[in-house]
Amino acid sequence: MGLSKANNASIKALESVLGFPFKDPSLLRLALVHASYCNENGLDPSESYERLEFLGDAVLELAISTELYRRFPDADEGELTKTRSSLVRRETLAQIARRIDLGSFLIVGKGVEVTNGHQQDSVLAAAFESLVAAIYLDQGNEFTRQFILNLMDAELNQAEQAGGPPENPKSRLQEVVQGQGLNPPTYRLVSSDGPDHDPVFTVEVLVNDLVVGTGTGGKKSDAEGAAARAALAALSGNV
C-alpha cells in the first residue's frame, strides 16, 4: 500500500492502547488511513478507511441497540431510538476516540495534518467506526461487542441513570415558549471566529423579537443548544 507512516511500531503502539493484538495487522492499518492521504499519494480510495467506516457504523448500532434493549425493558421504540442516537452521534464517538488518543495514530494527508484536521469530531468519529469494523473482521462479533460496551460504559451508565437520552434544550425551549403563549424561538448567528478547523460560533435565540439567550460552540448546532439552555434558565429556571 505504500503507507510508510503506518509502520509496525505505530501499529504495535495502538494495539497496546487497545489491549490486544490483531491477527491481521493490515486491517488495523487500513482503519487508520484517511482519504486525504490516498488523494495526496495517488492511492485508490479503497485504500482508505471509508469502506470500514460503513461497516463499523452498522456494528456499533447493533451492539448499542442490543444493550439498550436489555437495559431499558420498559422503553418504547421512540425512546430507544433517541437514546441510541445520543450514543452513536458524531460528538459522542469523537469523545470516545479521544479517550484512546486515536487521532494521533491516523494517517492523513499533509493538508489535514497542518490544520490539525485529524482531531476534528467528524474525522475522529469516522475513524472510530472504522476501528470497530476492523476489530469485528479480525476478532468476531462477541469480542467486538464487549470492546464497544467496555469503551462506552460511562456513556451507557449515564443514559441508564438519566432514564434515557439527555433532553434536547431546543425542543424543551420550544415547549416552554409555546406553553407561555409566545412565538416560537428563532436563532440568529452573531459571529463565527477562529480557524476553519477549530471555529467558535456565537448564536442568540430570540422570542418575540427579544434576545433571551446567547451561546457559543464549536459547531453552529452546539451554539444554538447552549443559547437554548441559557434561555431556559432565563425563562423558566430550567437548565
* Each residue's pLDDT tens digit, 95-131: 999 999 999 999 888 878 777 777 888 899 999 999 9
**Are 116 and 185 in a shared domain?**
no
Quote the pLDDT of residue 238: 44
Q: What are the φ and ψ backbone dihedral angles of 101, each rounded to 5 degrees?
A: 55, 40
Residue 206 grid cell: 430570540
* Secondary structure E strands in the chain: 186-193, 200-207, 210-217
Q: Catalytic residue numbers?
A: 57, 129
**Are 128 and 16 in a shared domain?**
yes
Specify the higher pLDDT residue, 191 or 236.
191
Specify the higher pLDDT residue, 80 or 6.
80
- DSSP codes joined into one string, 170-182: HHHHHHHHHHTTP
> Which range scores top for mean pLDDT: 30-44, 67-81, 126-140, 184-198?
126-140
CA 6 to chain centre: 24
Specify the higher pLDDT residue, 9 or 49.
49
**Are 88 and 18 in a shared domain?**
yes
* Each residue's pLDDT tens digit, 203-225: 999 999 999 999 998 888 888 98
Quote the pLDDT of residue 186: 95
**Are 116 and 50 in a shared domain?**
yes
- Number of domains present in the structure of the chain: 2
As beta bridge partners, residue 191 has: 202
* Each residue's pLDDT tens digit, 37-52: 898 888 888 899 999 9
As beta bridge partners, residue 206 has: 186, 211
**Are 150 and 174 in a shared domain?**
no
**Are 40 and 139 in a shared domain?**
yes
* pLDDT at position 82 over 90: no
Evaluate whether residue 2 is within a structural domain: no
Q: Please name the helix (run of DSSP H) or strand (run of DSSP E) that holds residue 222, with its range, or none.
A: helix 220-236
Q: Indicate the residue type of 62.
A: L
Q: Is 197 helix (H, G, I), strand (E, B) or coil?
A: coil
Dihedral, 53, 59, 62, 68 alpha carbons, nearest 10: -80
CATH of the domain at 207: 3.30.160.20
Place 26 in a pLDDT band, splitting at 50, 70 and 90: very high
**Are 232 and 181 in a shared domain?**
yes
* pLDDT at position 7 over 90: no
Whole-model pTM above 0.85?
no
- DSSP codes joined into one string, 91-129: HHHHHHHHHTTGGGG-B--HHHHHTTGGGSHHHHHHHHH
User: Domain residues for 128?
Assistant: 8-162
Q: What mean pLDDT value characterizes the chain? A: 88
* Each residue's pLDDT tens digit, 51-78: 999 999 999 999 999 999 999 998 889 8
Residue 169 grid cell: 434544550
For a pLDDT cut of 90, what percent of the chain falls above it? 56
**Are 147 and 198 in a shared domain?**
no
